A and B are shown apart, each in its own frame.
Chain A
Amino acid sequence: MVNTAGITKEEVSPPNEISLIEKAKTNPEAFSVLYNKYYEQIFRFCYQRCDEKEDAYDLTSQVFLKALTNLKKYKHQGFPFSSWLYRIAKSEVYQFLKDHKKQRAINIDSEKIKDMIREIESGSEEDKIPLLIQAIAELSDDDLNIIEMRYFESMSFKTIGEVLDITENNAKVRVYRILDKLKKSISHESKKN
């Protein structure tokens, strides 16, 4: 693979990511390998939270710029580099939407929302999907992010924990609590209707 700066072709095998990161700390051009590797993932993460593609492109660029700028502070702590990027992305999305006064978008896949309703209502209660969507829309930013990571982006609890800097167990507990919250909200709205 040859990067666009014309640096000599290098073979990089995944287990050597740590040494690549160390190299990129003093040679920014070497960061292009990581950029190419994680670009699509980070874009999808940003796009999940934005309404417009153009915003997601800008955000993705911003995430990698921030990562490169702060790369010297990055220390390998036993979790993937991608988790660190997701952390930056989460923060950048928030800031971007705030600075540009844009609405936070929630992009829902109908199949995935069906998975969720089954988990919450232990059965196929698809008539409650609109209530679930409403309840999701009312979650706090933090809770919404967790739900998106788990159900719309199919992240494992381990990854969620790494992104949020909490333990895997804690990530499970938080998901459980949010589902509980959603369930109560649906139940409450059902009774009202």
Chain B
Amino acid sequence: MNPRKINIDRENITAEEINAGKDFQKVLKGYKKTGGFTLNKILLITATVTMVFVSAILFFRKENKQEDSKQTVNAESPQIKTTQKRKVNPPVEGIEIPFEKFTANNASKSSFKTKNGSLIHIPANAFIDNAGKEIIGTVEIRFREYKNVADIVLSGIPMEYDSAGQSLQLSSAGMFEITGYQGKNPVYIKQGKTIEVEMSSDKKEEIYNAYYFDTIDGNWKYLEKNRIKKSGAEKKSITRDSLETVTEVYVSENPYFGDEIKAIEKQEPIKPRKLNKNKNRFKIDVLQEEFPEMAIFNGLRFEVGPENKNFTTSMYNQEWEDVKLENNVPGKNYLATFTSATQKISLVVYPVYDQADSAKAMTLYQKKYVEYENKLNQRLRAEKAEQEKWEAERKKQEEEWKKAQDEYRIQEEMYNTKNQIMRVFAVDKFGIYNSDTPYNYKNGIELQPVYSINNEKITQMIVLHIDNNMRTVKMLYDKYPISFDPKSENYLLLILPEKMAIFKPEDFRKITAKKGEYNFQMNVIDQKFKNAEDFKEFLLSKK
């Protein structure tokens, strides 16, 4: 960030100076030069042409599948070249889902349960080394699961699936990765042996298939219709509504933001100064019975300030029906307003005293000042006490809200664990497995995106479109259109070398455009993520 330049009490600019810069004709000329609404039409046409052009390229590529299969889509080169070969590319450096580790003795069968409730059943003599020799001793099985969109984002596993020349998005019921090592050396599953993995899943539908990610081809391979085992646990209904009570943390307004203090300060008495014989000044004679509030100004004179351009001494000898004296610039001067039947004059005046009256003037001033200070301090104390009270209430609400959220989360986990189903995979080689269904979303909005951060257009980046309801994560490339279901919980995650930015579901809900170009104003994510849990909390928390 450039250092900022601080100016203290810079010279005021007058309204006249400001208005001297007005030039509406210049603005109108500029508007006509841009073409006004014509430019918007040109932009729309350009966007449409670009979309048609991109569609033409993709169509052409589909028809020439064989030639293109050698090219690689690298997530760091956002310009799309081909949809064929993909690779696993975790986008957030240093943050990945950690592996769970289990030790299996190759000589006997073993079973393990993961923290998510998945089961791994390993038959005896399942493993061989690089040379094809049977492993002797123990093997470390490494296993990690991807259960939600945050996990999928961090995994960097591509979720597009090519089938019959079409590129489809995979909607996931859960994924896992399994590998095996003996020391530092990878081990392999012997031909004819399979590890049975029962992956816990919260998706109960029977529409999902089992896939394996072929890292050589860079594509998902369909294995079979996903077999399901029910956990058999009793279904327990949890009342969720009662847990979602505190949605608004700051439910009460804090009225104490100093407005009353400001009002009191405006009444700060003005210290009179010794009069300047060369300046116009006057004394106000009033009938005290009629103007008791003016009694305190007896003996004081008022010097006419240089701000008054229209003052003439003719007003000295006039009789006025009413006079009001109020603070103008607090602590500096008053505004004296004189009214008669035919005239009303306001003057900025400064209280001054004659040498002979100096003691009286200062005594009066000091008395008024003490009263003012007492009033101010009293108010300050009261406000501080109220502010502390408000802060305590706010903190209490925050804690209640957090407690409610924690309870809800625990209940949710319990509910999911007790009612989950197990999706069964026959693992005959280590790697990444997925329970998915191809998702080709039909009715929704398609926009041609322009991405910007703080109004600066961004072009070279990775963009992920996340649909949390369908559990899809789609990698978009620069100028790739965005199709989304407005009823879903959509996110856009923009990944740049030094930072990330997000477009949240609440931002999606504000989109009224149904087609054409749209400027997605991304919000930079300030938070630094320590681990996968941090990132998951950020993305999926309902705060």
Contacts and interface: CB of A to CB of B under 8 A. Distances in A.
Given A122-B383, A173-B250, A105 B7 contact: yes
A172 B18 CA distance: 31
Contact of B380 (A29, A110, A118): A118
Contact of B8 (A61, A108, A173): A108
B511 to A, nearest CB: 13
B4 A123 contact: no
A176 B24 contact: no
B543 to A, nearest CB: 14
A129 to B, nearest CB: 10
29 contacts: A4-B24, A5-B24, A28-B36, A31-B24, A32-B24, A32-B28, A39-B22, A40-B19, A57-B21, A60-B21, A68-B31, A94-B454, A103-B3, A103-B5, A104-B2, A104-B5, A105-B5, A106-B6, A108-B6, A108-B7, A110-B8, A118-B258, A122-B383, A123-B380, A133-B6, A141-B1, A169-B253, A172-B254, A176-B254
A118 to B, nearest CB: 7
Given A61-B23, A118-B258, 19 more contacts: A29-B28, A35-B27, A36-B22, A51-B7, A57-B21, A64-B24, A68-B36, A101-B2, A103-B4, A104-B2, A108-B6, A108-B9, A115-B258, A115-B262, A137-B3, A141-B1, A169-B250, A173-B250, A175-B257
A107 B5 CA distance: 8
Given A94-B454, A94-B455, A172-B254, A28 B31 contact: yes
Contacts of B19: 39-40
B18 A118 contact: no
Interface of B: 1-10, 13, 15, 17-19, 21-28, 30-32, 34, 36-37, 39-40, 250, 253-254, 257-258, 261-262, 265, 380, 383-384, 454-456
Chain A, interface size category, equals: 35 or more
B4 A137 contact: yes
Nearest to A175: B257
B18 A28 contact: no
Contacts of B26: 61
Interface of A: 3-5, 28-29, 31-32, 35-36, 39-40, 43-44, 47, 51, 53, 57, 60-61, 64-65, 68-69, 72, 91, 94-95, 98, 101, 103-110, 115, 118-119, 122-123, 133, 137, 141, 169, 172-173, 175-176
Nearest to B385: A122
Contact of A103 (B2, B18, B28, B39): B2
Nearest to B7: A107
Classify the secondary structure of A's interface with B: helix
Nearest to B331: A111
A183 to B, nearest CB: 12
A71 to B, nearest CB: 9
B3 A69 contact: no
B24 A95 contact: no
B25 A53 contact: no
Contact of B4 (A3, A43, A106): A106
B210 to A, nearest CB: 46
B261 A119 contact: yes
A25 to B, nearest CB: 9
A3 B24 contact: yes
Contacts of A176: 254, 257
A149 B420 CA distance: 52
A6 to B, nearest CB: 11
B455 A69 contact: no
A104 B30 CA distance: 26
Given A28-B36, A69-B31, A107 B18 contact: no
A122 B37 contact: no
A119 B22 contact: no
A35 B261 contact: no
A115 B264 CA distance: 12
B290 to A, nearest CB: 35
Contacts of A133: 6, 8
Contacts of B262: 115
A108 B4 CA distance: 12
Nearest to A47: B13
Given A69-B36, A104-B2, A110 B9 contact: yes
The 6 closest A-B pairs by CB, nearest first: A57-B21, A103-B5, A65-B30, A32-B24, A122-B384, A105-B5
A94 B456 CA distance: 10
Given A98-B456, A118-B261, A122-B384, A64 B27 contact: yes
Contacts of B17: 53
A166 to B, nearest CB: 11
A119 B383 CA distance: 10
Contacts of B37: 72
B27 A61 contact: yes
Contact of B7 (A40, A95, A101, A106): A106
Contact of A5 (B10, B28, B261, B380): B28
A64 B267 CA distance: 39
Contacts of A109: 9
B525 to A, nearest CB: 14
